[in-house]
Amino acid sequence: NNTLNGMDRIDPNLRDEMLVELFLDQMVSDFKRSKILERIGYSLKSKDKEAFLRLTEELKSVP
């Protein structure tokens, strides 16, 4: 909330651009996370421990 309150003083066009960028960054992170989770599920089904460990590490690096 403090971030959005402070954005009232920023040029409206710049503010909109920043909000769109934040939104897109979040969408990309969510997409990456969901794809990795799908692959983790597959690794569990196929009992691929190596892939599971690699993917869980990869998941930790997604912002």
Q: What is the pLDDT of residues 15-60, one digit of tens each?
A: 889 899 999 999 999 999 999 999 999 999 999 999 999 999 999 9
Return d(Cα 46, Cα 49) in angstroms, integer. 9
User: What are the φ and ψ backbone dihedral angles of 11, each rounded to 5 degrees?
Assistant: -50, 130
pLDDT band of 3, cuts 50, 70, 90: low
Q: Under a CB-based contact definition with an 8 Å cutoff, are residues 24 and 54 in contact? A: no
Please tell me whether the overall predicted TM-score, pTM, comes out greater than 0.95 for this model. Answer: no
Residue with the two structure tokens 């769109």: 20
Domain locations in the chain as residue ranges: 2-60
Residues 6+ apart with CB under 8 A from 39: 51, 55
